[in-house]
Amino acid sequence: MDNLSTHKSKETKAWLKAHPHWRFVHTPNHASWLNQVECLFGILCRQLLKHGHFDTPQDLAEQMLAYVETRNQTATPFKWTYTGKVVLNA
């Protein structure tokens, strides 16, 4: 999961201590590409939100739901290309 502060709160730490069979694994900072939902949000932003027109919050919600429903009909898994090699700055 990401490094959101709510995932590291006192309450969360207490819950984890009470449930020792659970362990959180956090993605590295600045690596949101590792979280697939971040990829989907990026696509949603580029294909719908960036150039969309929404008259009301309800209109926005309806268009987002319609987008997700349409995308789910043709969705394919993301193709990962990362090889695990360290990327050096040129």
- The pLDDT of residue 56: 96
62 has pLDDT over 90 = yes
- Tell me, yes or no, whether 19 lies in a domain: yes
- Tell me, yes or no, whether 13 lies in a domain: yes
pLDDT band for 5, please (50, 70, 90 cuts).
confident
Measured CA distances, 64 to 2, 22, 55 (Å):
23, 33, 13
∠ CA 25-1-57, rounded to 5°: 170
pLDDT band for 1, please (50, 70, 90 cuts).
confident
- Tell me, yes or no, whether 86 lies in a domain: no
- Tell me, yes or no, whether 90 lies in a domain: no
Task: Report yes or no: 43 and 68 within 8 Å, Cβ to Cβ.
Answer: no
Domain that holds residue 31: 5-74
- Tell me, yes or no, whether 81 lies in a domain: no
Look at the pTM and tell me if it is higher than 0.95. Answer: no
